[in-house]
Each structure stands twice: as structure tokens, then as C-alpha cells.
């Protein structure tokens, strides 16, 4: 019987195509990933079992932390710019075009509008240092937070024709009256439905 010679097959496979695909996907994910911006007011959100995600656009976030300090932020550069324009008009503060463009890049801030210019002129690293920003005034005499919310909602309707989603991001240790104040401000504007930002509850609750 003739010996059947087994054809010797190479054990290595050509990886070039696989490598190409892998790197293509890698590039895609790196580019689509949104880099996490440093927050001027870091908060530790409480956890919940809720799985709903926050929307990406047309979202205003009110951050509450460090004994009632309130920070405000809107998504979208166009919304930020038009909100600032309306606020500037109301409080008689003038901003140059350059200031407005710089402001459009700030994700979150917490200063009275009178001091906003100084914050805009700061470098991003200095801006996010602790105790640089004292929070937005929200008492009944000087309720700038209510105006920010109102004008950002108007900006969302003007620019995108949608109602702005408002999210409250509170620190777990924050006392309830501070949260209540913000909820009251929203309710005074007939915003009765909003989101509470929470983390994912890992342990068995």
C-alpha cells in the first residue's frame, strides 16, 4: 500500500486582515468615545436600580453639592451661546463675541453672572479648582438659577424646537431642603417632570 503523504499545512494564519479590522474598529471607538470632562463640582450621586439613560442632547444639568452650591450646564454650543445672550441682556452684562465662543465650550459653571467674565477668561485647569466657583445664586432676591433654566429652555425651543430635559444631579450627602429649593424653582416654571441622575446600584439591594 502506498503511503499517503499528508500535506503539511502551515500553522500560522495570515493575520493582516484581522489586524486591519481590529484597528479600524479601535479607531472608530476611540473617536466616538466622548472624553470625560473634569467637573468643577464633583458629586457622588446616589445609586438606584434604574436603567434609563440620560439623553445626549437638549439636556440641562443642575448639579447640587457641597452644602447647597449649585452649578448649571447645558449641552450644545448653540444653546449655551443663545442662553448667555439672553442672560446678558437681562442682567446688563456685556460679553464680546470671543467671550461667548469661549463660554460655549464650558460644560458646567457655578458663578453669579457678574463674575462670569472672570471665569471665562480663566484657563480650564484653574476654573475647575475647588472653591473658585461659589455657585449660582438661587435665593428669592437674586434668583439667577431660575433665569438660567428659563432662558436655556427658551433657547432649546428657539433653536431645536424641543422642550429641554432637565436633570438634577445631587450629591448623596446633600440635605433635602437644598434639593427641594431647586425642585421648587423648576416647579415655579411649570417643569413638573425632570430626571434625577443616579449611579448604578451594584450590590444586592
Partner 1 sequence: MAELNTGDGGGKKGSKKVRSKKLNSKVDLTAMVDLAFLLITFFMLTTSLSKPQSMDLSLPDKDEDPTKNKDVKVDENRTMTLLLGDNNQLKMYMGMLNNPLVAPKDIAYGKAGLRAEILKRKKTVQEYTGDAKKGLIVIIKPSKKSNYKNLVDVLDEMAIDDVGTYAITDILPEEVKLLEGAAPATPQ
Question: CB count, 10 Å around CB of 101?
Answer: 14
Residues 43-72 that bind partner 1 (CB under 8 A): 45-54, 64
**Half-sphere exposure (CA, 13 Å, Cβ side) for 126?**
6
* Long-range contact set of residues 173-181: C-beta below 8 Å, sequence gap at least 24: 173/44, 174/64, 174/65, 174/67, 174/68, 175/68, 178/64, 178/67, 178/68, 179/64, 181/68, 181/138
**187 binding partner 1? (CB under 8 A):** yes
**22 binding partner 1? (CB under 8 A):** yes
**9 binding partner 1? (CB under 8 A):** no
Query: Cell numbers at residue 99, please?
Result: 467671550
Identified binder of partner 1 from the candidate list 105, 124, 162, 172, rule CB under 8 A:
172
Identified binder of partner 1 from the candidate list 7, 34, 94, 131, rule CB under 8 A:
34
What is the residue whose three cell numbers read 479601535?
26
Q: Which is nearer to partner 1, 64 or 116 (CB)?
A: 64
Q: Which is nearer to partner 1, 48 or 99 (CB)?
A: 48
DSSP state of 84: H
d(CA 177, CA 173) in angstroms, rounded, equals 12
Give the number of residues in contact with partner 1, rule: CB under 8 A. Answer: 56
Query: Cell numbers at residue 4, please?
Result: 499517503
Taking the complex as a whole, the smallest distance from the CB of residue 8 to partner 1 amounts, in Å, to 10
Question: CB count, 10 Å around CB of 146?
Answer: 19
Identified binder of partner 1 from the candidate list 5, 12, 92, 123, rule CB under 8 A:
12
The binding site for partner 1 (CB under 8 A) comprises 12, 14-16, 18-19, 22-23, 25-26, 29-30, 32-34, 36, 45-54, 64, 167, 169-177, 179-180, 183-184, 187-188, 190, 192-201, 204-205
Amino acid at each position: 500500500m502506498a503511503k499517503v503523504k499528508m500535506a503539511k499545512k502551515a500553522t500560522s494564519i495570515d493575520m493582516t486582515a484581522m489586524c486591519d479590522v481590529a484597528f479600524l474598529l479601535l479607531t472608530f471607538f476611540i473617536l466616538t468615545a466622548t472624553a470625560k470632562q473634569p467637573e468643577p463640582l464633583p458629586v457622588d450621586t446616589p445609586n438606584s436600580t434604574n436603567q434609563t439613560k440620560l439623553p445626549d442632547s437638549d439636556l440641562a444639568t443642575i448639579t447640587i453639592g457641597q452644602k447647597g452650591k449649585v452649578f448649571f450646564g447645558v449641552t450644545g454650543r448653540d444653546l449655551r451661546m443663545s442662553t448667555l445672550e439672553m442672560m446678558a441682556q437681562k442682567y446688563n452684562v456685556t460679553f464680546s463675541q470671543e467671550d461667548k465662543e469661549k463660554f460655549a465650550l464650558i460644560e458646567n459653571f457655578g458663578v453669579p453672572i457678574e463674575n462670569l467674565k472672570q471665569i471665562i477668561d480663566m484657563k480650564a485647569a484653574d476654573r475647575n479648582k475647588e472653591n473658585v466657583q461659589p455657585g449660582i445664586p438661587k435665593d428669592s432676591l437674586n434668583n439667577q438659577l431660575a433665569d438660567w433654566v428659563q432662558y436655556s429652555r427658551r433657547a432649546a425651543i428657539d433653536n431645536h424646537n424641543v422642550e429641554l430635559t432637565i436633570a438634577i444631579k445631587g450629591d448623596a450627602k446633600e440635605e433635602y431642603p437644598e434639593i427641594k429649593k431647586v425642585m421648587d424653582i423648576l416647579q415655579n416654571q411649570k417643569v413638573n417632570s425632570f430626571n434625577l441622575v443616579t449611579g448604578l446600584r451594584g450590590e444586592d439591594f
